[in-house]
Amino acid sequence: MPKTSPGRFFEDFSLGDTLRHATPRTVTHGDVALYTALYGPRFAVQSSDAFARAIGYPHSPVDDFLVFHIVFGKTVPDVSLNAVANLGYAGCRFLAPVYPGDTLSTVSEVIGLKENSNGKTGVVYVRSIGVNQNGTQVLDYVRWVMVRKRVESARAPGELVPALPKALEPAELGDACPVIDPQAYDTGLSGQRHRLRDYVAGEMIDHVDGTTVEEAEHMMATRLYQNTAKVHFNQFTEGQGRFGRRLIYGGHVISIARALSFNGLANAFHIAAINGGRHVAPLFAGNTVFAWSEILDVQDLPGRDDVGALRVRTIATKDRPCGDFPRRTGEDYDPSVILDLDYWALIPR
């Protein structure tokens, strides 16, 4: 009876399966400092207890993407150890703030399965929920991945492609953001003076700066999230693989792009939801990441007059500045594009 887990293959999943993931994880000020060192975010609410308190938080909450990566990381050994590709995200909502000292764990449900026509792989849809030590849900999202079959002749374990929302509605946003005092939100200290209504749909913002990625950085980040996907860590094996390189965790790219977006979106302090995201191409150590954003929508939140929501599409590239907004034309992306992320961020009114 082997003591090590080879991970699930496509035929090992069943619709409705509930997966309780290891390992629960207490988030601390140490994690927050590492997140700062790895990405350099400067959003005032997450950076300063004093700033956070002034607007109504008890103290600084943990960065939303740090929460996402920790909740996500736990699903890897059970869901995607034998994945060929991470295909997409949908319906991702942040439901409660997370503070240093909170303990996060993750439970997933298999909500969809679809064998591919080649008979060698299938798509698995899981809905994952992150909860804190009190059982409060902090994050809820769906992702789907392409997973290899162990045995090609194995029967497909079911077939259901779940209906997934293209985007969250404004009424579904804001649970993880306490009511804040927008007057106390000091735009003289936050790095930029623009509030909700200073943005308009269609606006495009080049985030200007670029940041080069190192092997030590992405591996430290990915281990911090206790994400065990082999392709990020093992040069011996990956050196003989398709790219000859370690692949960088897609979430690392998301956090880099988010940190770069401060320059232009400094007051969009809270990620309320991720509508969808696509890792268009892989990133490798030595590449330099740039990003730009388009404002897709500007919305009030029903019943709230403190904050509103910007729907933002952030595109990240490698080794190509974004002054001319490289993007998708028809079905094809500019070859520099590595990430196309669609999310809602909250910003003071």
Residues 144-203 that bind a second copy (CB under 8 A): 188-192, 194, 198-199, 203
Number of residues that bind a second copy (CB under 8 A): 84
Minimum distance from residue 303 beta carbon to a second copy (Å): 28
CA separation for the pair 339, 349 (Å, rounded): 29
Please state whether beta strands 211-212 and 270-279 pair in parallel, antiparallel, or not at all (unpaired): unpaired
Q: What are the C-alpha distances in Å from 35 to residues 31, 42, 64, 274?
A: 6, 11, 11, 20
Q: Between vectors from CA 16 to CA 10 and to CA 17, what angle results, nearest 5°?
A: 60
Options 67, 168, 205, 315; binder of a second copy; rule CB under 8 A? 205
Choose between 241 and 302: whose C-beta lies nearer to a second copy.
241
Does 137 bind a second copy (CB under 8 A)? Our answer is no
Choose between 223 and 302: whose C-beta lies nearer to a second copy.
223
Choose between 43 and 89: whose C-beta lies nearer to a second copy.
43
Minimum distance from residue 123 beta carbon to a second copy (Å): 25
Choose between 169 and 186: whose C-beta lies nearer to a second copy.
186
For the chain, the maximum distance between any two Cα atoms, rounded to a whole number of angstroms, is 64
Does 49 bind a second copy (CB under 8 A)? Our answer is yes
Give, as ranges, the residues between 213 and 252 that touch a second copy (CB under 8 A): 214-217, 219-224, 226, 228, 230, 233-237, 246
Options 22, 85, 171, 179; binder of a second copy; rule CB under 8 A? 22
Options 33, 160, 171, 201; binder of a second copy; rule CB under 8 A? 33
Does 136 bind a second copy (CB under 8 A)? Our answer is no
Options 15, 148, 231, 263; binder of a second copy; rule CB under 8 A? 263
Q: Which phi and psi angles does 138 have, rounded to 5°?
A: -110, -20
* Residues in contact with 243: Cβ distance below 8 Å, sequence separation at least 6, in sequence order: 282, 284
Does 18 bind a second copy (CB under 8 A)? Our answer is no
Minimum distance from residue 188 beta carbon to a second copy (Å): 5
Type and span of the H or E element at 217: helix 215-224
Options 175, 209, 294, 334; binder of a second copy; rule CB under 8 A? 209
Minimum distance from residue 37 beta carbon to a second copy (Å): 4
Choose between 98 and 123: whose C-beta lies nearer to a second copy.
98
Choose between 116 and 226: whose C-beta lies nearer to a second copy.
226
- How many of the other CB atoms lie within 10 Å of CB of 317? 28
Helix (H, G, I), strand (E, B) or coil at 111: strand
Q: Which of 176, 178, 212, 216 is nearest to 71 (CA)?
A: 176
Type and span of the H or E element at 258: helix 250-260
CA separation for the pair 34, 193 (Å, rounded): 28
Does 140 bind a second copy (CB under 8 A)? Our answer is no
* Residues in contact with 195: Cβ distance below 8 Å, sequence separation at least 6, in sequence order: 182, 187, 267, 347, 348, 349
295 touches 310 (CB < 8 A)? yes
